Structure 1
Amino acid sequence: MSRVTLTDLASLYHGGKPKGITSVCSAHPLVLRAALRHGRETGATVLIEATCNQVNHLGGYTGMTPQDFATLVHSIAAEEACPPELVILGGDHLGPNPWRDQRADAAMLQAERMVAAFVAAGFAKIHLDASMGCAGEPVALDDVATANRAARLAAVAERTARDAGVPPPLYIIGTEVPPPGGADHALAEIRPTDPDAARHTLAVHRQAFADNGLDDAFSRVIGLVVQPGVEFGNRNVIAYDPAPARGLVAALAEEPGIIFEAHSTDYQGTEPLSRLVQDGFAILKVGPELTFVLREALYALDLIASDLLPGYGTRPLYSEMERLMLASPDHWRSHYQGTAGDERMLRHYSLSDRIRYYWTRKEAMQAVARLIHALRGQLVPLPLIRQHLPQAEAFAAHPLEPEDLLVDRITDTLRSYHTACAV
């Protein structure tokens, strides 16, 4: 069939022909390159999303505004000859979360400015998430307050789209999602969203939009974020089990214009992902797994260079990343517990992959550049590839282009999602 777009998903699912779209949630240039190259090769929709903490009108932790992020994506797409019509940009968890330590009026003002910046920059998919309490409020707001704030942000998005002369965005609502980046502890069970809770979320958002004259905007709500019962911790993964989610899936039949969006689907593998798509979880968000496999490949190349090249040193990339994380522990310290040895292991190998916050540091980029320069054009013997990176045997005994190998390793995960989405 022809390429599946976001507005196709509900009719396909409710028509008995479910399909999915992968949502790539990363700002790493090599991950973006892999997604865009894969889109060019397959002709599939390339949905790339940025979170409110990662990218916002003040720069986020990446230092990028929405326009900066859009420019980066489109420039890589041009380099990869990925047709621009394949690329959709999305904003994830757009709301007051980055400013929740402020009073609600100040935090929501910043959230409004952020939403306006995303829409003006051409982000066509907006996840409205105003569920978190601000200073002086409960940690989590009730559904009515959440919906009213979401409607306030939708009004800003609608007005910005009109003023900027861009198409009004599609919306995702709902906030019952796993912790961003995975849980901090070992997991045994994750319960799916209660069907009545999903119904109530839709009902109160529909009413809040109507009360604010936003019926047209609500007609562009294409998905509801729910918890299907999937998650990953630092050390383990809870795979999708369709049985506990049957009631939730049955509730979806009552909303023919809606599909579910599933967060934290990382590390599920093709079969569980396929079952998610079959059950109406048509947007599959993945992020940490993509940078995890990138880190795997970088560390493997670090070992290969250490074994192959006199003078390269012994795992200098690993050593530099360890030094950076110890010098600036804010991104991992509260998430990793245990002995000093446990913490060291998790800093580098946790499934939540909090090392991803450090790759944009100058020292990390220099260490990666040195590794790539050292191996570029080298003939890596097959036995050495088999020792450290057996999945990449095809790269042995040919002049090595390290960036192509890294992109291939990321793309291997994207292939799994692509297969699942085409059920």
Structure 2
Amino acid sequence: MPTNLLRSLPNLHRAGRHMGITSVCSAHPQVIRAALMLGKELDRDVLIEATCNQVNQDGGYTGMTPHTFRIFVEGIAAEIGYDTRRLILGGDHLGPNPWKHLSAEKALKKAEVMVAAYAAAGFEKIHLDCSMGCANEPLALNDEATASRAARLAAIAETEAIKEPVYVIGTEVPVPGGALEEVEHLEITSPLSAKATVDVHRRAFAAKGLEKAFERAVGLVVQPGVEFGNQNVVSYKPESASDLSASLDELPGFVFEAHSTDYQTPAGLRALVRDGFSILKVGPGLTFAVREALYGLDAIAAELDGEPLSLKPTMEALMLSQPDHWAKYYPGSAAEQALQRHYSYSDRVRYYWTTSEAQAAVASLMARLGSQSLPETLISQFLGAAWPEVREGRTAPTAEALARTAISRVLRNYADACSPADDA
């Protein structure tokens, strides 16, 4: 395994080595713990990213700044003994998006402060995304304006960074927040568009004297034909993205970054890495696994002690009392919205796990089950994916182990895709 895998990916791909890296986009402590534990087990770098809306100088929706997010992640690493020298922190969609309701100049000033905070906190991977319009601007900007604003933010990162940044450029549709309803058609990025994005950013960086910084741009965000909506997943079709994949031959120094790879099959993930989509971003798919496991454990607890379900009713009441995170994303009837609140692929229940009410409900559930061995038959009924692992002795039949392995099961699919046996 090469040192500094992220920076090595373009050369590895050009050498025919089908290596990749998983970008874990989550602030959920159990997701981060599972990612670091797997990284320790496999002796690999771990890339954890925060988005502009999630973590910023104002706290974002997590209440964390880049500095406090680093402390949060490194605290978990210290608890499990993961070497933080192998930890890569990234900032995703860094740009004016959280403040796009303001004028462009005011929003960019805020974005400058945010990028400075990420760079000063030692975030190494910086995804610059200035594609969205601000007040009185078009919804999406042209390439020249996007690149010019990205270069402006890169200049700030170069000044404030305590670690030499690695840049990712470009964006994908939809913007941060995810797709709405069912995804029926995706327009795969054309090779011409990919090359144009790189060229226009190269010129914009050069105009600010940032040629050396651009040499550290290793990733280009593209749409390879993968996405998920509330109720469906669009699977990767290599034949549809073959021209885009082949265009990497004309983009030395770059690999592609694929967003919204959640819920792709293991074969699909392997094919993405093989075809040069070497940075695989995943977020909701991991917290979806958290929710599945916790709801399954809640059902097991109800069977064991005869008491009613506790966790789902708590989360339902919480989401109904604070609808901002889901209401505009879940159209339809009241019944359809109720289903989506808990079982949507976009997993907007993830925004509520950090609340005191949710944390208390989870703690109560785990205390209710304790460290007892849960019946295999109930694990089969309510946590079916874990049943073979329990039967084979790979997972202990306890609530804590079952919750943890629900996340690591997803992460292992990514780990396997990013380091195939013949490339390990």
Structure 1 partner of 2:401: 404
Question: Partners in 2 of 1:151 and 1:289 — Cα distance?
Answer: 32
Structure 2 partner of 1:371: 365
Shift of 1:238: 0.5
Shift of 1:404: 2.8
State which of 279, 283, 289 in structure 2 corresponds to 1:287: 283
Corresponding position: 1:255 with 2:278: no
Deviations 1:69-125 (Å, cap 9, x if unpaired)? 100110101111111122100000000000000011111111000001001111000
Structure 1 partner of 2:129: 129
Structure 2 partner of 1:390: 384
Question: Partners in 1 of 2:354 and 2:398 — Cα distance?
Answer: 21
The aligned length equals: 417
Deviations 1:161-206 (Å, cap 9, x if unpaired)? 2xxxx22200000012444353212223312112111111111100
SS at match of 1:253: helix
Structure 2 partner of 1:219: 215
Corresponding position: 1:194 with 2:164: no
User: CA distance change for structure 1 residues 152 and 160 in 2, over 3 Å: closer, same or farther?
Assistant: same
Shift of 1:402: 2.6
Residues 52, 97 of structure 2: 8 Å contact kept: yes
Deviations 1:321-349 (Å, cap 9, x if unpaired)? 00011111111111112221111100000
Letter in 1 for 2:85: E
Question: Partners in 2 of 1:322 and 1:225 — Cα distance?
Answer: 35
Provide TM-score, normalisation by structure 2. 0.95
User: CA distance change for structure 1 residues 329 and 126 in 2, over 3 Å: closer, same or farther?
Assistant: same
Residues 178, 263 of structure 1: 8 Å contact kept: no
Residues 187, 225 of structure 2: 8 Å contact kept: yes
Shift of 1:222: 0.5
Letter in 2 for 1:192: I
Residues 232, 264 of structure 1: 8 Å contact kept: yes
Letter in 1 for 2:114: M
Residues 181, 264 of structure 1: 8 Å contact kept: no
Shift of 1:11: 0.4
Question: Partners in 1 of 2:386 and 2:276 — Cα distance?
Answer: 34
1:248-397, aligned counterparts within 5 Å? 248-310=244-306, 313-393=307-387, 394=389
Question: Partners in 2 of 1:99 and 1:276 — Cα distance?
Answer: 33
Shift of 1:243: 1.4
1:74-153, aligned counterparts within 5 Å? 74-153=74-153
User: Which has the larger displacement, 400-409 or 211-220?
Assistant: 400-409
User: Which has the larger displacement, 152-161 or 173-182?
Assistant: 173-182
State which of 416, 419, 423 in structure 2 corresponds to 1:422: 419
Shift of 1:251: 1.6
Deviations 1:287-337 (Å, cap 9, x if unpaired)? 000000100000000101111124xx3111100100011111111111112
Structure 2 partner of 1:66: 66
Residues 182, 234 of structure 1: 8 Å contact kept: no
Letter in 1 for 2:401: D
SS at match of 2:62: coil
SS at match of 2:308: coil
Moved over 6 A (4+): 396-399
Shift of 1:405: 2.0
Question: Partners in 1 of 2:113 and 2:177 — Cα distance?
Answer: 25
Residues 21, 284 of structure 1: 8 Å contact kept: yes
Residues 172, 259 of structure 2: 8 Å contact kept: no
Residues 185, 234 of structure 1: 8 Å contact kept: yes
Shift of 1:392: 2.4
User: CA distance change for structure 1 residues 172 and 346 in 2, over 3 Å: closer, same or farther?
Assistant: same
Question: Partners in 1 of 2:104 and 2:357 — Cα distance?
Answer: 38
Question: Partners in 1 of 2:166 and 2:33 — Cα distance?
Answer: 25
Letter in 2 for 1:422: S
In structure 1, runs of 5+ residues without a counterpart are: none
Question: Partners in 2 of 1:212 and 1:51 — Cα distance?
Answer: 26
SS at match of 1:190: coil
Structure 2 partner of 1:7: 7
Letter in 1 for 2:206: A
SS at match of 1:319: helix
Structure 2 partner of 1:230: 226
Residues 178, 227 of structure 1: 8 Å contact kept: no
SS at match of 2:167: strand
Structure 1 partner of 2:57: 57
Shift of 1:386: 1.3
Provide TM-score, normalisation by structure 1. 0.96
Residues 378, 399 of structure 1: 8 Å contact kept: no
Letter in 2 for 1:120: A
Question: Partners in 1 of 2:344 and 2:98 — Cα distance?
Answer: 24
Letter in 2 for 1:289: G
Deviations 1:349-399 (Å, cap 9, x if unpaired)? 000000001111111111011001111122311111111112223558998
Question: Partners in 2 of 1:87 and 1:401 — Cα distance?
Answer: 29
Question: Partners in 2 of 1:138 and 1:203 — Cα distance?
Answer: 23
Question: Partners in 1 of 2:416 and 2:163 — Cα distance?
Answer: 30
Residues 380, 400 of structure 1: 8 Å contact kept: yes
Shift of 1:417: 0.4
State which of 224, 234, 240 in structure 1 corresponds to 2:236: 240
Residues 396, 402 of structure 2: 8 Å contact kept: no
SS at match of 2:242: helix
Shift of 1:400: 5.8
